Structure 1
Amino acid sequence: MTPTNTLSVEAYFDLICPWCLIGKRHLETAIDQLARERPDVTVQVEWRSYPLIPATPPDGIPYRDFYVARLGSLQAVAVRQAQVYSAAREAGLTLALDRIETFPNTLLAHRVVRLVRQREGAQAATALVDNLFTRYFIRGQNIGDGQVLNDALAECGIDVPELAGTPVRHDLEWLPPLSGPDDAPPRTGLGVPHFIFNGTHSVSGSRPPAALLEAMLRALARAKQIATRAAA
């Protein structure tokens, strides 16, 4: 495997952001398209935590109250949700925002995702991220709740012996914090989703697969240029 046929993807996300779920689906579609165009390329995706509202109370707050306060009215909330539903359908997703009762604090969930990434690798972390997105946006579960996180780990077949059947909690000091260099955003004011390809090309927002594929191909072309110059 050489730098010219390896594509690294750093994906910054938050679990409460529907655009991150939609962006994840677009990324998966773009990776499938890349596989057809460049079957020689191996893609490595690392999900990087970027909690948008870390000051949310640990137990969360009422979902509707949060969005009414944030957007100004029930009508504004309905308009925004219609936009989300439309974008999700275009990505092949069926959301159930009406089932969500609690707007959660995602810090604990992100710490668990990071723990899984450190212990089990990127593939297991991706499976957990998928599961938590599904639990929140489709099942309407509170992903800030420790028992929900335990259930997600079990459903993904991920064993955390230290928990021993006890729900994960915010005060567990052995859980990794979110202040390490591998989760530090590349710049302040970062919006999510945000994708960085091979450390050289980035795409912000829930962009369509074609835009992501273009950035991937440019990043690979850049890697080839660098490798060619180094060999000259």
Structure 2
Amino acid sequence: MKRIEVWADMVCGWAHIGKRRLEKAEFGEDVEIVWRPFQIDPMAPAQAESLEKALRDPIADGALRACHPDLAPQENRARAAADAAEEGLGPRWGGVLRPNTFDAHRVIALAYERGGSALQNAVVERILQAHFVDGSDIGDRATLAALAAEAGLDGMAGALDAGEGTREVRSQILRGKAIGVATSPTFVVGEAAVAGAQPPAILEDLVRRAAPGRDLPDEVRLLRQAESLLDLRDPLGALETLEPLMAGHGDDPSVRLLAARAYFGSAQLGRARETLESLLERAPGDHYARFLLGRTLERSNRHAEALPHLRLAVAMSPEPDYTHTLHRVEGRVASGVDPQRNRFVRQAGLGRST
């Protein structure tokens, strides 16, 4: 059985339209449809506000473009309304509120966890209907609990208050970012994907040509996700991804080196230095770890301490980045631009007398 992952936000009209088109597709084989979280407007306020008001805010206006990056929000809404009518979504269709959808994604994740794809699909349908047809606030927890109950999922009021689903949604949002999801909706099957509310024929072709996804061990999957997030300049997301690996495999050199890179990227220089020093005690020949320790010390304004590590890194692997950094730090030490060394000299009374 193949799995279609639908990465979408519940305030994106194209997600509602895409759902209708997905339902019309004929795949010719068993498929599981799973909804995953994507937030086009993660900075939306906890208390929903008028969408018309939000569209006058340049920041909110920019965020809402993520639903259809090629169109201005007003043009996007007009085009979506026309397509929604063609899909039979009703004469009265269109969101009127700007809610924060994080809790809605938590409910959707819990629906899959507790009842599988069928229950999740029912919950997604009810939430989309509430936002686009009923004009309800799907950021309100009481409203979400009631909608979930109508779809057959009880107990959401207590679950939301207890924080259930929070970690799963954050993890999936990071995973989506790592695999390249950048708009709502995006349909992913294995390693193939298409973005936008595609017609049934395109979705059928996606399933037909996609190879089943490989079930990688969790450790490998999380390592790859953390690497992708670092490449995307999201070191805090990488650290969050690495949390379970640090807890269960904290001594693994690959895990520790990724953690050190994430600490360095997020300016947690003390943690980066400690992690790299510990790593190099076990693997003194790791030239990249040696170079990164030198860079960490350089960023901490400890240039004289950085030099030995950078020289060793260059001796082991004379890569251009290593050599350039070494020359830069040697120049700073030679010119006396080293706050740590200068402080030591002043404290020891070794400065020039005047």
TM-score tier by shorter-chain length is 0.7 to 0.9
The reply on whether 1:42 has 2:38 as its aligned counterpart is no
The reply on whether 1:86 has 2:94 as its aligned counterpart is no
- Following superposition, the deviation at residue 194 of structure 1 comes to 0.5
**Residue number in structure 2 paired with 1:227:** none
Select the residue among 121, 142, 163 that pairs with 1:173: 163
Partner secondary structure for residue 194 of structure 2: strand
- TM-score w.r.t. length of structure 2: 0.51
Select the residue among 127, 135, 139 that pairs with 2:122: 127
Is the contact between residue 112 and residue 120 of structure 2 (CA under 8 Å) also seen in structure 1? yes
Alpha-carbon distance in structure 2 between the residues aligned to 1:150 and 1:173 = 14
Alpha-carbon distance in structure 2 between the residues aligned to 1:188 and 1:182 = 11
Q: Which structure's residues are more often strand, by fraction? A: 1
Select the residue among 172, 190, 193 that pairs with 2:185: 193
- TM-score w.r.t. length of structure 1: 0.76
Is the contact between residue 12 and residue 48 of structure 1 (CA under 8 Å) also seen in structure 2? yes
1:1-232 residue pairs with structure 2 within 5 A? 6-30=1-25, 33-34=26-27, 38=28, 41-69=29-57, 70=61, 79-94=75-90, 96-97=92-93, 100-160=95-155, 163=158, 168-169=160-161, 172-177=162-167, 178-181=169-172, 184-185=175-176, 186-188=178-180, 190-197=182-189, 199-219=190-210, 222=211
The structure whose Rg is larger is 2
In structure 2, stretches of 5+ residues that fail to align are 63-71, 213-354
Partner secondary structure for residue 23 of structure 1: helix
Alpha-carbon distance in structure 1 between the residues aligned to 2:181 and 2:204 = 25
Alpha-carbon distance in structure 1 between the residues aligned to 2:181 and 2:113 = 26
Listed one character per residue, the Cα deviations across residues 169-212 of structure 1 (whole Å, up to 9, x for unaligned) are 5xx33343322258720434611100112x13211111111111
Q: Which structure's residues are more often helix, by fraction? A: 2
- Following superposition, the deviation at residue 115 of structure 1 comes to 1.5
Partner secondary structure for residue 144 of structure 2: helix
Partner secondary structure for residue 135 of structure 1: helix
Is the contact between residue 186 and residue 193 of structure 2 (CA under 8 Å) also seen in structure 1? yes
Is the contact between residue 95 and residue 137 of structure 1 (CA under 8 Å) also seen in structure 2? no
Alpha-carbon distance in structure 2 between the residues aligned to 1:64 and 1:97 = 15
For 2:76, the aligned partner's letter is R
Query: Per chain length, whose mean CA-contact separation is higher, i.e. which structure has more relative contact order (CA < 8 Å, sep 6+)?
Result: 1
Partner secondary structure for residue 76 of structure 2: helix
- Following superposition, the deviation at residue 18 of structure 1 comes to 0.3
- Runs (4+) off by over 4 Å: none
Alpha-carbon distance in structure 2 between the residues aligned to 1:60 and 1:14 = 15
Listed one character per residue, the Cα deviations across residues 108-144 of structure 1 (whole Å, up to 9, x for unaligned) are 1111111221122121111101000000001111100
What percent identity do the matched residue pairs reach? Answer: 28
